[in-house]
Each structure stands twice: as C-alpha cells, then as structure tokens.
Amino acid sequence: MTTNATPRFGDFHRILFFTGAGLSAESGIPTYRGKGGVWTEYDYEDYACQRAFARDPEKVWDFHDKRRAAVARCEPNDGHRIIADVQRERADTAVVTQNIDGLHARSGARDVVELHGSLWRVRCDRERVVRDDVTVPMTPRQCSCGAYWRPDIVWFEDALDPRNLERAQELLLACDLLVSVGTSGVVYPAAELPRIAMRSGATTVEINVEDTPVSALYQHRLRGKASEMLAAMR
Ligand code: NAD
C-alpha cells in the first residue's frame, strides 16, 4: 500500500538508506521493541551501559557473547542484498544504520555509517585502540594493558560518536532520495536525522510493516516487509 506511485531507485542520483532493526528482522534478529525484543528479557542497566560494564565486565561480556553467537548464526536477507546491489549500481548511494549486527557489510555494502557501533568491534578505552573482532566467544576479554576490551557499541546513556553523526548529517543533506527501512523512529538522536533530508527537499520513503510515530513526515509510506518493499522500488 502506498500514498501514491512508488518511487524507483533509477529515478534518483544520491540515494540514502537509513536502516533500523526491522531490516534485520527477516534474518531472524529480534527488533528492539515488541515480542521477542531483547530488552523485554534483560534490563539494560545490568547489561548494556557503561555503569554495568564498570561494575561487572564479565557479566556484560557473557551477555554480549550470547548476542554475538545469536547474530553469527543469522545471514543477510534480500533487503540487505538489494541495498548492496543499489550501492554497486549507483556510486553515490550511502547507508546509515542504527543496527549493530554487521549484516550490511556481510551483504557487500560499503562505507556503512554505523551510528550505534558494532557488535563486531571492540575497543580499549585505556589505550584508545579500536579493532575488529569476530571471535565467539570474544577472547581474550582483556587487552595486553590489562584493561577489559569493551564492545564498541553505543550503549544506553552513551553519546553518539560525533564523527559518525557529522558524516550521517552530510549524507542526509546531500541525498535526493531518503529511504528509511524498519525503524520505529523513536530512538534519539538517530530518529532526528531523517528530518535533515526532509528539510533539504529530498523525496522521502518510509518502509515499515506498520505506521510509526513519524510516518506522517514521509511523502511515501510503503507498508510490508522490508525485502518486499525494497524489491518494489527496483
Ligand atoms: P525498533 O525495534 O525500535 O523498531 C523496529 C521497527 O521495524 C518497528 O517500527 C517495526 O514495525 C519495524 N519492522 C519489524 N519487522 C519489519 C520488517 N520485516 N520489515 C519492515 N519493518 C519491520 O528499532 P530501531 O528503530 O532500529 O531502534 C532500536 C535500537 O536498538 C537501535 O539502536 C537499533 O540499532 C538497536 N537494535 C539493533 C538490532 C540489530 O542490530 N539488528 C536489533 C535490535 C535493536
């Protein structure tokens, strides 16, 4: 169902995909809100904030190892693949994601702006080192300096990396087509970003299985699974 004719990728030059947990739902990764959501089972204050990590890094790592193991079993879906294909076909296509699962990169997408970090990167805040790490479970948990490696994820109460925010803002300002895919639009400050493209005159599309609190801001609302709605825009 659409508000009017579905925009086609071929009619635009600088496409920006702004993606959220709903894009990875078809890969079997639960979304943030709703049934099966990870935060209905676990309290973030015990597992996903800097305070919890300072208090009990082993407990926080046990939890993140479980998340890594669950995501490692999942594969990119057709939605991720269509986005990577569009990026291959049109050089000026960018991806800004709120997801931490790494599925965009695994489907072949390039230069993805990961606003909320990645499950597959760790950092040592003492030595100011960041590195990729795909071991499951993540070993060793401590850096050679003795401090614990920390998942390079924007946890609850953390600020976004200003460099990522700036890059995302530039891309949103420059795009002529914004396609938001599978995001509830309520996690700030990420949720504010699409407004930049709206203000600068881009054509805007929201893909979701249902209406969201920000649906009315989009010119086109495509209702259905991410992979099917993205296929309809080819
Ligand atoms: P959200 O859970 O708040 O919203 C998900 C949205 O996707 C909902 O509006 C839902 O209606 C929609 N949706 C569900 N299945 C869909 C499908 N098959 N096709 C299209 N839409 C579908 O997620 P958010 O807006 O991304 O914000 C949650 C925060 O938690 C973000 O930081 C996010 O990165 C993080 N998170 C990440 C992952 C991941 O990396 N895969 C998973 C859960 C949460």
Q: Which residues have C-beta within 8 Å of that of residue 27, sequence separation ≥ 6?
A: 74, 75, 76, 77, 80, 101, 103
**What is the pLDDT confidence band of residue 2, given thresholds at 50, 70 and 90?**
very low
Instruction: For residue 143, report the distance from its CA to the centre of ligand 1, in Å.
Output: 32
Integer angstrom CA distances of residue 83 from 67, 136, 180, 212? 24, 27, 12, 22
Q: What integer pLDDT is reported at residue 36 of this predicted model?
A: 64
Residue 78: its H or E element: helix 78-89
160 contacts: CB under 8 Å, gap ≥ 6: 115, 116, 154, 189, 190
Residue 39: the pLDDT is: 73
What is the reported pLDDT for 204? 97
Distance CA 223, CA 49 (A): 34
What six digits make up the tokens of 177? Answer: 């087509």
Confidence label for 1 from pLDDT (cuts 50, 70 and 90): very low
Whether the Cβ atoms of residue 64 and residue 123 lie closer than 8 Å to each other? no
pLDDT of residue 189: 85
Per-chain mean pLDDT for the chain: 95
225 lines ligand 1 (CB under 6 A): yes
Task: Give the span between the Cα atoms of 104 and 93, in whole angstroms.
Answer: 13
> Which residue is associated with the tokens 């825009």?
233
Q: Please report the atom of ligand 1 found closest to the CA of residue 26.
A: 18
pLDDT single digits (tens) 109-167: 999 999 999 999 999 999 999 999 999 999 999 999 999 999 999 999 999 999 999 99
> What positions carry a catalytic annotation?
116
Question: What is the rounded CA–CA span in Å between residue 192 and residue 39?
Answer: 22
Q: Which of 31, 207, 229 to mutate to test the pocket of ligand 1 (most atoms within 8 A of CB)?
A: 31
Query: pLDDT digits over 7-45, tens only?
Result: 999 999 999 999 999 999 999 998 876 566 777 778 889
What local confidence, expressed as pLDDT, does residue 33 receive?
A: 67
| 215 CA → ligand 1 middle, Å | 15
How confident is the model over 96-113, as pLDDT tens digits? 999 999 999 999 999 999
Q: Is the CB of 103 under 6 A from ligand 1?
A: no
